[in-house]
Amino acid sequence: MPRFSYDALDADGRPSKGELDAADRRAAARRLAAQGLRVSRLTESGKAASSVSEGGEDHPDLHRARPLGVHPVASAFVAGFAELHEGGMPVGDAVKLMASRVTEPALRALTRGLWRDLSEGMPLSQAMARRPVLFDESTVHLVAAGEATGNLVPVLTRVRASFEAREALRAKVLGALAYPLLLAGAATLVLGIFVFALMPVMETLMGQLGGKFPWYVQGLMLAASVFVKGLPVFLILGAFVALRLRKARVDPAARRSQDALALRIPLVGRAIVHAEAARLAELLSTLLGSGVNAAQALKLAEKPIGNDELRSRYVVARRRVHDGAAISLALRDTGIFEPEDLDLASVGENAGALPRSFASVATRRSKAFDAALSRIVKTLTAVFFSVVVTLVGFCLVSIITTSLSVSKNVSVRR
């Protein structure tokens, strides 16, 4: 008989874990429910959770990750499922109805896979966790918390709001980077025209007249030629370095070192901290507001922290809370939250309104991230604009100087 391991919460909200023998996953889930346990994880011992490709969901969109933002299939599922569940339909029935009614191929494949997992007794959060391309850790943890407390509706509302905010952020980042990239392309185009069109003509003309370019024109032409003709090599080297850094992130020590270095980059480091703080505060607000106790909420909020250096600091603070320290005091040395944020958390902790305080912190830090992103974009724009103006100016100076040299040589010959 198969043996299943589980994580659950009892009627008093205390965590419970163990193993039991059952005919299948559904039977194991029924036995745990009969014991008054709310299951957050149920897996067959000795078997890892299978991937989405092993689940029979072979639609290519389900395997194609989306940088930044939210996967559109995941967003569509959460929106449709939330409407059905908020209307009073149980989780399983809502997913089953979507699986039979939706017409979009990728969404239909996802809902059918989720329904298959649910029919085997798997909680929705665990079924979502099997699809990391679609659902990130923070979303899975939020759904798991909602299932554990039996309060999934407000969690779904927060997840939908989070998805919308992340999509807006993605559009903002892409839109903000468009102008600097356009300027960079213009600078490369100017150099390309100068190197491949104007420079050969000027060199030929000066050779015929027996003249010579001034030293600064020769230096400019050499630098432009090296940059433009060596651009493919620079791009290949850049891609190689990026690939090596990505492979190095497999090692926890190297990953933490890279993340610590990223925090020290001017402007970028503060933007990273603001983004992590906003996400962490929002997650803590939702978990605490859903009835999860502080210790469990702090533990669940740990994994979604993307920067390893900040996560390691957070772990130390979380352990201090476990030992009895106040949350606001424990988080003070992490470098994630600002003093004003911790003051809000302290007031909420004393007044019993910690979820609301963290929600306010999330709003503050989201605005701070927007401001930091705006500063980064303005800096990049100024740099690229200066480069373009400088290059155009040098090209004009080179053309004018060359023309004067040609005129001088022609006059001498006459």
Write out the DSSP string of 351-412: HT-HHHHHHHHHHHHHHHHHHHHHHHHHHHHHHHHHHHHHHHHHHHHHHHHHHHHHHHHHHH
Q: For 248-265, how does the pLDDT look when each residue is reduced to its tens digit (9 = 90+)?
A: 767 888 888 888 998 999
pLDDT at residue 361, as a whole number: 92
Residue where a domain terminates, one of 48, 68, 86: 48
Q: What's the pTM?
A: 0.66
Are 343 and 352 within 8 A, CB to CB?
A: no
- Paired residues of 38 in beta bridges: 9
User: Would you state the structure tokens that stand for residue 232, as one six-digit string?
Assistant: 């493919």
pLDDT reading at 56 higher than 60: no
pLDDT at residue 212, as a whole number: 67
pLDDT reading at 215 higher than 80: no
pLDDT reading at 4 higher than 70: yes
Same domain, 194 and 325: yes
User: Would you state the structure tokens that stand for residue 177, as one six-digit string?
Assistant: 């980077």
pLDDT at residue 51, as a whole number: 40
Compute, in degrees rounded to 10, the torsion defined by CA atoms 297, 300, 306, 311. 70
Same domain, 252 and 395: yes
pLDDT reading at 112 higher than 80: yes
Q: How many residues does the chain have?
A: 414
pLDDT greater at residue 124 or residue 32: 124
* Mean of pLDDT values over 118-133: 85
H or E stretch including 207? helix 199-209
pLDDT at residue 274, as a whole number: 92
In a domain, 93, yes or no: no
In a domain, 241, yes or no: yes
Same domain, 40 and 173: no
In a domain, 210, yes or no: yes
pLDDT at residue 242, as a whole number: 79
Q: For 34-54, how does the pLDDT look when each residue is reduced to its tens digit (9 = 90+)?
A: 787 777 667 776 544 444 433
In a domain, 94, yes or no: no
pLDDT at residue 314, as a whole number: 92
pLDDT confidence band for 31 (50 / 70 / 90): confident
* Mean of pLDDT values over 157-176: 78
* Mean of pLDDT values over 289-296: 79
pLDDT reading at 21 higher than 50: yes
In a domain, 112, yes or no: no
pLDDT reading at 266 higher than 70: yes
Residue where a domain terminates, one of 48, 70, 87: 48
**CB neighbours of 81 closer than 8 A, spacing ≥ 6?**
94, 95, 98, 156
Per the prediction, the chain carries an average pLDDT of: 79
172 burial type by CB count under 10 A (0-12 exposed, 13-18 middle, 19+ buried): middle
In a domain, 356, yes or no: yes
Window from 76-80, 120-124, 316-320 with minimum mean pLDDT:
120-124
pLDDT confidence band for 239 (50 / 70 / 90): confident
Are 362 and 274 within 8 A, CB to CB?
A: no
What is the tally of structural domains in the chain? Answer: 2
In a domain, 295, yes or no: yes
Q: For 343-364, how does the pLDDT look when each residue is reduced to its tens digit (9 = 90+)?
A: 998 998 888 888 899 989 988 9
In a domain, 339, yes or no: yes
Window from 12-16, 50-54, 162-166 with minimum mean pLDDT:
50-54
Distance CA 336, CA 338 (A): 7
Are 128 and 110 within 8 A, CB to CB?
A: no
pLDDT confidence band for 157 (50 / 70 / 90): confident
Give the percent of the chain with pLDDT over 90.
8
pLDDT at residue 50, as a whole number: 43
Pairing of strands 15-21, 3-9: antiparallel
pLDDT at residue 52, as a whole number: 40
Q: For 77-93, how does the pLDDT look when each residue is reduced to its tens digit (9 = 90+)?
A: 998 998 898 888 888 88
Q: Which domain holds residue 36?
A: 1-48
pLDDT at residue 411, as a whole number: 61
Same domain, 221 and 355: yes
pLDDT reading at 187 higher than 80: no
pLDDT greater at residue 29 or residue 105: 105
Distance CA 24, CA 120 (A): 8
Same domain, 42 and 187: no
* Mean of pLDDT values over 287-313: 83
pLDDT at residue 154, as a whole number: 81
Q: Which of 81, 86, 85 is nearest to 99 (CA)?
A: 81
